[in-house]
Chains A and B, each alone.
Chain A
Amino acid sequence: SQQGEEDPQALSIQEGENATMNCSYKTSINNLQWYRQNSGRGLVHLILIRSNEREKHSGRLRVTLDTSKKSSSLLITASRAADTASYFCATDPLAQKLVFGQGTRLTINP
């Protein structure tokens, strides 16, 4: 399986609710990143969390990292229609290049 795997593969919620996506990985990392992709085009970097950090916030985003479980979660609070996108986690297992997961497709229903 992949170095980074997101769960769930797809998530559909009502506007205003919180959305939680998870990412698991296999090997030691220096950092873990989350990206968003709209309409199958370029990815946009959301947040980077280093291996010595446990939690990080950016606006409505909250990312946690548990290196003992090799897992991370991305929480989007008070979701909006504009948050509809695919979300990918990426890790740097060899500190040379990022490895991306398959993504979570998030749909926010008005």
Chain B
Amino acid sequence: GAGVSQSPSNKVTEKGKDVELRCDPISGHTALYWYRQSLGQGLEFLIYFQGNSAPDKSGLPSDRFSAERTGGSVSTLTIQRTQQEDSAVYLCASSPIIAGETQYFGPGTRLLVL
């Protein structure tokens, strides 16, 4: 079956512009995660959705970052007024019912802010 998909694959934007990154999780997966990974670094947790519960936003680095998950499926990560330090690969992952179990990752969106 289809895995996690993300779009766009690559995004180049100018400093100050807003960007939207999309994630389509595996059908039926109730948990969805967003991570950020700078070049050569580990994964930085951003936000976590679990079913209909309030999302865990504890990893969002600033109020310029927000995310939504509509209908318990597709998620959009929005970065407003982008800065050069926002340049990174943004990874989405989903997992079945129970949090802490195996996560299935999308290919990521590589964001470059000029």
Contacts and interface: CB of A to CB of B under 8 A. Distances in A.
Interface string A73-94: 0000000000000001010100
Given A41-B108, A96-B48, A97-B99, A102 B56 contact: no
Contacts of B56: 96-97
A2 to B, nearest CB: 8
B35 to A, nearest CB: 8
A92 B91 contact: no
A30 interface: yes
Majority-rule SS of A interface residues: loop
B42 A43 contact: no
Interface string A29-44: 0110101000011111
B103 interface: yes
Most chain B CB inside 10 Å of its own CB: which residue of A30, A44, A88, A100: A100
B37 A40 contact: yes
Q: Which of A35, A43, A96 has the most CB of B within 10 A?
A: A43
28 contacts: A2-B42, A31-B101, A35-B105, A40-B37, A41-B89, A41-B108, A42-B105, A42-B106, A42-B107, A42-B108, A43-B91, A43-B103, A44-B105, A45-B102, A45-B103, A48-B101, A90-B103, A95-B99, A96-B48, A96-B99, A97-B33, A97-B45, A97-B56, A97-B99, A97-B100, A98-B103, A100-B35, A102-B42
Interface of A: 2, 30-31, 33, 35, 40-45, 48, 88, 90, 92, 95-103
Interface of B: 4, 33, 35, 37, 39, 41-43, 45, 48, 50, 56, 89, 91, 93, 99-108, 110
